[in-house]
Amino acid sequence: MAAQDVSGDKARVAALRAQLDRYAHAYYVQDAPEVPDAEYDRLLRELQALEAAHPDWITPDSPTQRVGGAALAQFPPVRHAVAMLSIRTETDTEATGAEAFDARVRRELALAEDAPPVEYVCEPKFDGLAMSLRYEHGLLVQAATRGDGEVGEDVTRNIRTIRQIPLRLPAAAAIPVPPLLEVRGEVYMRRADFEQLNERQRERGDKTFVNPRNAAAGAVRQLDPAIAARRPLSFFAYGLGEVTPPEAGGPDFGTHYALLQALGSWGFPVAPQVCIAHGATDLVAFHQRMGAARDGLPYDIDGVVYKVNSLALQRQLGFVTREPRWAVAHKYPAQEQMTRVEAIDVQVGRTGKLTPVARLAPVFVGGVTVTNATLHNLFELRRKDVRVGDTAIVRRAGDVIPEVVGIVAPTLPAARGSLPAEVALAARGGPSPQGALRRIPRQPYVPNFRMPRQCPVCGSAVVREHGEVNHRCTGGLFCAAQRKEAILHFAARRAMDIEGLGEKLVDQLVDAGIVRTLPDLYRLGLSSLVALDRMAEKSAQNVLAALEKSKQATLPRFLFGLGARHVGEATAKDLARHFGSLDAVMDASVEALMEVNDVGPIVARAIRTFFDQPHNREVVEQLRACGVHWPEGPPAPRAVLPLAGKTFVLTGTLPTLSREEAKELLEAAGAKVAGSVSRKTDYVVAGEEAGSKLAKARELGVQVLDEAGMQALLVPPQR
Ligand SMILES: NC(=O)c1ccc[n+]([C@@H]2O[C@H](COP(=O)([O-])OP(=O)(O)OC[C@H]3O[C@@H](n4cnc5c(N)ncnc54)[C@H](O)[C@@H]3O)[C@@H](O)[C@H]2O)c1
Ligand SMILES: [Zn+2]
């Protein structure tokens, strides 16, 4: 080997170790991975290969020799009586992974060629974090994380909040519970719970979690058990730690399978997929079966685990540094990968929500090739600081649409001889001491993405309501993206009640381009309906009859059917009663709308915006032209508010009411409350320590009231 190569390799080993240490710290200690597992595994394999070529370079602190990460000082340390190890990983997706393992086991057990197949137990490999639960005389006394395998963290208080973990084991079980029992298993978060948690975080504008494993690890290491309790966690048991030995009256299981069954009988959840396999062929079949089931499972698995079933054979096989020889994890394609963000577009959903979507360089993730991933909303995009040209981490798990969960922060130095990183380093003042990794500081956020003001599909105005994170298209009646939803809503039983116009028919009509907007429904002819797939003449006639019948509508049903945001059945009724006619509703100002029962500023503005869209109004006109009609009436008589048209100014401290309460009372009585006194002011309400406003009122001759005087005015005039 040339001297140069050796020194280059040595430098690469050092660089890899530094990088892996940093990633492991972020992953195990901070519960905030910087890169996808696939990337970590790739670098680890590179290091393993280099160390295999130069065994004398291996140090005990190399990432290849260690398990997990350091324990956090915030939790009391727990020394494991039986170390918590890792599992050797096979990444081959073909049969080779299982065959290599089986061959190794047979070789190490020195089995003859014609010896019968080895018996294994197959289990899913849950993607959560390992937990050791210690029971003394049937009571849970301690729960500990794996930590570095030797010393973990005492997280008992948090683990007690997990409902699936028994706090007390049955006293009279068929297999008696040994006086000392350590159960090992995986704490994880179900996908639905994870999605819900992230949805909640998103709505609040809080940081979301990268994946369920991460959310679970974060919850377990919460310092506040109350917060941990709100993060729904689950548990699967898969093994034992320290146990009362058979000599001292403890159980003698014989096989791993029997052990799992005992755990199940004591009340621990055990994976329902667990099964016994004979030889490599069975292992391959299990791998395939679980692979096919993977997307449909309610939780993430990143592979399967094969374990030699006989505990005597397990003892014979023993351990290498960080993993047992009798078990192997056989992985599936990763659910997170890195790829480049080529562009950021906007998609309009069925209900009008605008979603920023990252267009990606094609990447194989979660078993499929992904080219688009959601960024959810503008605020999440900004929080994750995703920009065109970035390397993004994309996650695709189960049926959930692929999403960008974060970006990979640029680090230095990237790889041996990678010029751009070195150039960047030089530009910032040369390499850091010891060649340690440093982050390239990002330019402050320059919004290179903006939400469009007009819907990219229909051109209607885009709005975001106060307190909302989502932007929406307001052209609900016209927008092609919202067509199906608009028609279904219009036809719904509580709206126009058009029987027979269900999801399937709407799909057909819209997909064939026969119906684009609501009025097209009333232009349908028998021939176009009958031409549709699986549409008999009789049912076509029924649909036409239902459409004809729906023309005789009521104003509340029609208003509700238009599907303006926030206009539910009750609001539609209130609007109809208050205004009497559709035109009066369509032309009402925000203020006028707010006079309607239960209509606040957000609802009023949404209605106003909806009818401000020329396309929406056109659709309404066309519907009327098609013969849709309803009885109209005069507007309801306005309730006489005692202070309608009067302007008040509040000053000083009132004896019983706060400023805010007084304002509310006055407004409810129809008054306006202004901030400063002018000639237009009708009354000034003055309390203790009233200052310049009171003086101004006196100067202008405005009537001044105390709180009692104001209260008297709130009572409606007697008739
Ligand atoms: N993204 C990153 O930056 C980063 C950093 C470090 C590690 N990692 C990832 O962590 C993993 C390696 O960590 P590891 O050493 O914890 O190994 P591992 O998670 O791959 O395997 C060992 C663990 O598997 C779990 N397990 C799940 N189901 C099991 C079952 N049925 N039987 C027994 N054990 C079961 C246990 O918790 C056990 O501790 C890799 O996937 C790696 O990519 C990622
Ligand atoms: Zn639109």
Question: Each residue of 626-646: pLDDT tens digit?
Answer: 999 999 988 877 666 778 778
What is the pLDDT, as a whole number, of residue 667?
A: 80
Q: How much is the average pLDDT of 495-501?
A: 96
* Residue 435 contacts residue 37 (beta carbons within 8 Å): no
- Model confidence at 421, pLDDT cuts 50, 70, 90, reads very low
User: Which pLDDT tens digit goes with each residue over 444-484?
Assistant: 656 678 999 999 999 999 999 988 899 999 999 999 999 99
Whole-number Å distance, alpha carbon 607 to ligand 2 midpoint, is 16
654: β partners: none
CATH of 472-625, picked from 1.10.3720.10, 1.10.150.20, 1.20.1090.10, 1.25.40.80, is 1.10.150.20
In this predicted structure, the answer to whether residue 705 has a pLDDT above a threshold of 90 is yes
Nearest ligand to the C-alpha atom of residue 337: 1
Nearest ligand to the C-alpha atom of residue 477: 2
In this predicted structure, the answer to whether residue 412 has a pLDDT above a threshold of 60 is no
Q: Which residue has the higher pLDDT, 71 or 423?
A: 71
Whole-number Å distance, alpha carbon 64 to ligand 2 midpoint, is 54
Helix (H) or strand (E) holding 460: none
Superfamily of structural domain 647-714 = BRCT domain (3.40.50.10190)
Nearest ligand to the C-alpha atom of residue 238: 1
Opening angle at CA 228, ends 227 and 230, nearest 5: 65
Whole-number Å distance, alpha carbon 335 to ligand 1 midpoint, is 14
- The ranges assigned to domains in the chain are 3-57, 77-331, 336-412, 472-625, 647-714
In this predicted structure, the answer to whether residue 415 has a pLDDT above a threshold of 50 is no
Candidate from 34, 82, 87 with most ligand 1 atoms within 8 A of CB, to mutate:
87
Candidate from 25, 40, 42, 133 with most ligand 1 atoms within 8 A of CB, to mutate:
40
Nearest ligand to the C-alpha atom of residue 329: 1
pLDDT over 70 for what percent of the chain?
A: 92
In this predicted structure, the answer to whether residue 588 has a pLDDT above a threshold of 50 is yes
- Model confidence at 3, pLDDT cuts 50, 70, 90, reads low
Q: Which residue has the higher pLDDT, 468 or 182?
A: 182
Rg (CA), the chain: 34
Instruction: Give the domain 3-57 fold.
Output: Helix Hairpins (1.10.287)
Distances (CA, A) of 213 to 68, 190, 216, 355, 594: 14, 9, 5, 26, 47
Those residues whose C-beta lies under 8 Å from the C-beta of residue 77, and which sit 6 or more positions away, are: 71, 147, 151, 152, 153, 154
User: Which pLDDT tens digit goes with each residue over 200-240?
Assistant: 988 888 889 999 999 999 999 988 888 888 889 999 999 99
Whole-number Å distance, alpha carbon 523 to ligand 1 midpoint, is 61
* Mean pLDDT for all residues in the chain: 90
ipTM at complex level? 0.97
Candidate from 125, 220, 321, 332 with most ligand 1 atoms within 8 A of CB, to mutate:
125
Write out residues with Cβ below 6 Å of ligand 1. 23-24, 26-27, 33-37, 40-41, 67-68, 86-87, 89, 123, 125-126, 130, 146, 186, 238, 305, 329
What is the pLDDT, as a whole number, of residue 423?
A: 36
- Model confidence at 670, pLDDT cuts 50, 70, 90, reads confident
- Model confidence at 285, pLDDT cuts 50, 70, 90, reads very high
Which residue's CA is the nearest one to ligand 1's atom 37? 130
Opening angle at CA 128, ends 125 and 130, nearest 5: 90
Q: Which residue bears the tokens 């140069």? A: 4
User: Which pLDDT tens digit goes with each residue over 144-167?
Assistant: 999 999 999 999 999 999 999 999
What is the pLDDT, as a whole number, of residue 47?
A: 96
C-alpha span between 595 and 580 (Å, rounded): 14
- Model confidence at 4, pLDDT cuts 50, 70, 90, reads low
**Candidates 10, 125, 672, 693; catalytic one:** 125
Q: Does domain 336-412 have CATH number 3.30.465.10?
A: no
Helix then strand then coil, in percent of the chain rounded to 5, is 40, 20, 40
Whole-number Å distance, alpha carbon 602 to ligand 2 midpoint, is 20
Which residue's CA is the nearest one to ligand 1's atom 11? 37
Which residue's CA is the nearest one to ligand 1's atom 17? 86
Which residue's CA is the nearest one to ligand 1's atom 40? 37
Which residue's CA is the nearest one to ligand 1's atom 43? 37
What is the pLDDT, as a whole number, of residue 598?
A: 81
In this predicted structure, the answer to whether residue 80 has a pLDDT above a threshold of 50 is yes
C-alpha span between 339 and 39 (Å, rounded): 11
Instruction: Give the domain 77-331 fold.
Output: D-amino Acid Aminotransferase; Chain A, domain 1 (3.30.470)
What is the pLDDT, as a whole number, of residue 377?
A: 94
In this predicted structure, the answer to whether residue 411 has a pLDDT above a threshold of 80 is no
In this predicted structure, the answer to whether residue 553 has a pLDDT above a threshold of 80 is yes
Which residue's CA is the nearest one to ligand 1's atom 5? 24
Candidate from 86, 150, 263 with most ligand 1 atoms within 8 A of CB, to mutate:
86
Whole-number Å distance, alpha carbon 66 to ligand 1 midpoint, is 12
573 as an active site residue: the answer is: no
DSSP string, 593-640: HHTSTT--HHHHHHHHHHHHSHHHHHHHHHHHHTT-B----PPPPPP-
Whole-number Å distance, alpha carbon 357 to ligand 2 midpoint, is 16
Q: How much is the average pLDDT of 11-38?
A: 93
What is the pLDDT, as a whole number, of residue 716?
A: 63
